[in-house]
Amino acid sequence: MDAHQLNVASHVGTGALALLIGLVPLFSRKGGPLHRWSGRATVGLGAVVLASAVIADVLFDPPAPLVAATLSAGYQYLSGLRTLALKRAGPGWPDVALALTGLGLVTLLGLHMGSGTASWPPAIGYATIGFIATVIVYDLSRHLWIGLWRRQVRPLDHGVKMIGFYFAMLSARAGNLLEQWQPLSQVLPSAIGMVAMVGFVVWYSLNPIGRREMAAA
């Protein structure tokens, strides 16, 4: 097994585990012991998935829309985890640096999207970086309303981004493994992810008990 095959094997194997275990924090009680344990396991597996994806992006020249999928998962992963550390202080300069780095990568991808491939057409790439750009603009805006964000929005921020990370992984995996169903195999997981994000926002807004539990976590 050469280096490329080893990287692919680690990406596929840990990705499958991350998607399986990642269902637990999605559906368990937010802030509870099961949510925390399964969340940590998903984060650890996700780190391997993203690291192997970045290695492939750097060394093996994948189509730009697939790189955009890596960027989508990676940015939401890092920003979603970073939110957990902002319970008392709110966003700071590290968050600005992360957002500006993400914005630079989005711009670079937009300028070099190219023609893509039949499996990963430019339309998917542009839609993906458009979504990430929207998330980044939101992240930068948090500095204008830190007090309100920290008191009421921080747990929601974390949840939405980790849902986005999960479905970005699922979209990339389905798109690569179910080529005969493209582009539906890529678009459908993304669409379900968007519905899940909106559903989580609605649940959070209408469930004061759950909101208090998440804010205390």
Report the run of H or E that residue 123 belongs to, with start and end.
helix 122-141
Higher per-residue pLDDT: 51 or 30: 51
Do 85 and 157 contact (CB within 8 A), yes or no?
no
pTM of the model: 0.90
Rounded CA separation 211/71 (Å): 29
Q: What is the dihedral of CA 28, 33, 38, 39, to 10 degrees?
A: 90
- Which two three-digit tokens encode residue 145? 């309303």
Identify the band that residue 115 occupies on the pLDDT scale cut at 50, 70 and 90: confident
Q: Note the pLDDT of residue 4.
A: 78
pLDDT in tens, 160-198: 999 999 999 998 888 777 777 777 788 899 999 999 999
**Mean pLDDT computed over 49-57:** 94
Rounded CA separation 75/59 (Å): 20
**Mean pLDDT computed over 107-134:** 89
pLDDT in tens, 193-213: 999 999 999 988 887 655 555
Detail the DSSP E strand segments found in the chain.
none
Q: Is 129 exposed, middle or buried (0-12, 13-18, 19+ CB in 10 A)?
A: buried
